[in-house]
């Protein structure tokens, strides 16, 4: 039994347990007890959470960890350290690696590397088709067996509708959802929403970015499609109109949209149309960004940026979007802090801080939020009862 840890004096907000109150919480590998004014036991480590919010560990279900294949952009060590600094006790990583995560051996070797080098929990998302080329379906059963929590061809949206329909059929009996990385977004979303509707397969739309895609999502849901959706910090807050004039540094897929689209997304988060906040952490080297590589380093700014985009969002909903909901969609065991559950905890404060991308631990430092002042700051991230990050 690992030593226990007492998190004292914080405001515990756990939407699944319907708790929002000053509570102390004692953990080891799992949550041991929750109560008012718990006394520290002799020799017990105490984390003072006075004035802070204590929540189930955040989960980022859309991260590009770049391993295997592109260690100059990110490595398991740096990506998972960036996750901890951003308040994420767990991340799901995308399969657009080199080679792609398209067979059980690639999942197993990633998980072996994760066991040795990761600082937070990492759940692999496997490819839908071999080499993500959109032609030959992967063995989804075997991938699931090896540990894949979802399937996606990521940036290579599966163009052939027959292949995607086959994927929905092959994955019908699996818990793991299909994730559409829709490009071009509206046409892609329309097709995949139809496939979700007719196949009844559980589906997830990555980085939704337009009002029309959101409307189509709601229409499909109204007809019974089981589809969840996520929004990124940059699509919630940054727009084409507001983008810096220096071109390539604001390149991202899908691109930044109009103010009307961003407003629709923020409304979608507020009214429940969007289930998950996910960063789409997509680090590149400075050289690659100069050459126009699309994507931002997101993990270390995401929580502050979400809070900036959604200042009036109730705290319990903010936390559900970052913990309970991604845990439910990917069938992970986190997402709540009830006794017996994994002791993954995020502690944060509503306190402004200034982003300095040059201090990121991620190898990617391109973010539209560099220099911005954000209203919410992570102060500690605990994984399995261990304090892995403390500001
Ligand atoms: Zn992505």
Segments forming the whole domain that contains residue 236 = 58-330
Q: Are residues 363 and 269 in the same domain?
A: no
> Which stretches of the chain are assigned E, i.e. beta strand?
5-8, 11-14, 19-22, 24-27, 31-35, 45-48, 53-56, 58-63, 88-93, 121-126, 150-151, 178-180, 203-205, 227-231, 276-277, 345-349, 353-354, 373-374, 377-383, 386-390
Q: How many domains does the chain have?
A: 2
Residue 296: pLDDT above 90?
yes
Is residue 230 located within the same domain as residue 252?
A: yes
Q: Which of 330, 361, 382 is the last residue of a domain?
A: 330
Q: Are 173 and 190 within one domain? A: yes
Percent of the chain surpassing pLDDT 90: 89
Instruction: Answer yes or no: do 189 and 228 share one domain.
Output: yes
In this structure, the answer to whether residues 233 and 372 fall within a common structural domain is no
Residue 96 CA, ligand 1 centroid: distance in Å: 8
What does the pLDDT read at residue 109?
97
Average pLDDT, the chain: 95
Q: How far is the CA of 74 from the centre of ligand 1 (A)?
A: 14
Looking at the structure, do residues 132 and 91 belong to the same domain, yes or no? yes
Average pLDDT over residues 290-316: 95
Same structural domain, 290 and 212 = yes
**What mean pLDDT is predicted for residues 215-231?**
97
For 155, other C-beta atoms within 10 Å of its C-beta total 16
- Note the pLDDT tens digit of each residue in 376-388: 999 999 999 999 9
For residue 240, pLDDT over 90 is answered with: no
Q: What is the largest CA-CA distance in the chain?
A: 63
- Are 132 and 72 in the same domain? yes
Could you list the beta-strand ranges (E) of 261-312: 276-277
Looking at the domain assignment, is residue 335 inside a domain? no
Please say whether the beta carbons of 369 and 359 come within 8 A. no
* Region for 262 from its dihedrals, namely left if φ exceeds 0, alpha if ψ lies in -120 to 50, beta otherwise: alpha
Question: Domain with 373 in it: what CATH number?
Answer: 2.30.40.10
| pLDDT > 50? residue 245 | no
Catalytic residue set: 280
* Residue 99 · residue 105 · CB < 8 Å: no
pLDDT bracket for residue 230 (50, 70, 90): very high
State which of 295, 330, 365 marks the end of a domain: 330
Cis ω before 36 (30° cut-off from 0): no
Query: Distance, CA 12 to ligand 1 centroid (Å)?
Result: 32
β-pair type (373-374, 353-354): antiparallel
Torsion of CA 8, 21, 86, 31, to 10 degrees: 60
Instruction: Say how many Å lie between the CA of residue 180 and the centre of ligand 1.
Output: 10
pLDDT number for residue 139: 98
Q: What is the mean pLDDT of residues 97-105?
A: 97
- Give 247's pLDDT tier (boundaries 50, 70, 90): low
Q: What is the structure's pLDDT at 274?
A: 98
Choose among 222, 185, 177, 211: nearest CA to 325: 177
Instruction: Flag whether pLDDT at 273 surpasses 70.
Output: yes
pLDDT tens-digit readout, 39-95: 999 989 999 999 999 999 999 999 999 999 999 999 999 999 999 999 999 999 999
Among 142-146, 180-184, 284-288, the range of highest mean pLDDT: 142-146
CA distance from start to end of the chain: 27
- The CATH number covering residue 194 comes to 3.20.20.140
The continuous run of DSSP H or E covering 147 comes out as none
Distance CA 195, CA 203 (A): 9
């Amino acid at each position: 039994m690992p030593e226990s840890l007492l998190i004292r004096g914080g405001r515990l907000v756990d939407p699944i347990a319907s708790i929002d109150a000053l509570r102390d919480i004692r953990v080891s590998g799992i949550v041991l007890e929750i109560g008012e004014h718990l006394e520290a036991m002799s020799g017990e480590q105490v984390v003072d959470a006075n004035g802070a919010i204590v929540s189930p560990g955040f989960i980022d279900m859309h991260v590009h960890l770049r391993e295997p294949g592109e260690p100059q952009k990110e490595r398991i060590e740096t990506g998972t350290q960036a996750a901890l600094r951003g308040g994420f006790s767990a991340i799901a990583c995308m399969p657009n690696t080199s080679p792609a995560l398209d067979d059980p051996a690639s999942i197993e070797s990633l998980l072996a590397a994760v066991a040795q080098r990761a600082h937070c929990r990492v759940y692999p998302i496997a490819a839908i088709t071999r080499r993500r080329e959109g032609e030959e379906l992967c063995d989804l059963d075997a991938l699931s067996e090896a540990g894949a929590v979802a399937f996606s061809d990521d940036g290579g949206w599966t163009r052939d509708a027959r292949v995607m329909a086959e994927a929905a059929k092959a994955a019908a009996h699996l818990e793991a959802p299909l994730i559409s990385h829709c490009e071009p977004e509206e046409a892609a979303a329309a097709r995949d929403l139809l496939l979700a509707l007719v196949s009844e397969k559980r589906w997830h739309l990555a980085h939704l970015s337009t009002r029309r895609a959101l409307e189509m999502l709601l229409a499909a849901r109204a007809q019974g499609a089981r589809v969840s959706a996520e929004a990124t910090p940059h699509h919630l807050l940054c727009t084409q109109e507001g983008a810096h004039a220096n071109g390539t540094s604001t390149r991202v897929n899908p691109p930044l949209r109009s103010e009307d689209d961003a407003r629709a997304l923020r409304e979608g988060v507020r009214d429940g149309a969007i289930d998950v906040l996910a960063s789409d952490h997509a680090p590149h080297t400075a050289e690659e960004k100069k050459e126009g590589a699309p994507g931002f380093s997101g993990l270390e700014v995401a929580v502050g940026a979400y809070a900036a985009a959604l200042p009036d969002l109730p705290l319990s909903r903010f936390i559900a979007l970052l913990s309970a909901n991604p845990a439910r969609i990917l069938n992970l065991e986190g997402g709540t802090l009830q006794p017996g559950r994994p002791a993954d905890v995020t502690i944060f404060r509503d306190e402004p801080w200034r982003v300095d991308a040059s201090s990121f631990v991620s190898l990617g430092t391109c973010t539209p939020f560099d220099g911005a002042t954000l209203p919410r700051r992570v102060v500690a991230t605990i994984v399995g009862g261990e304090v892995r990050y403390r500001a």
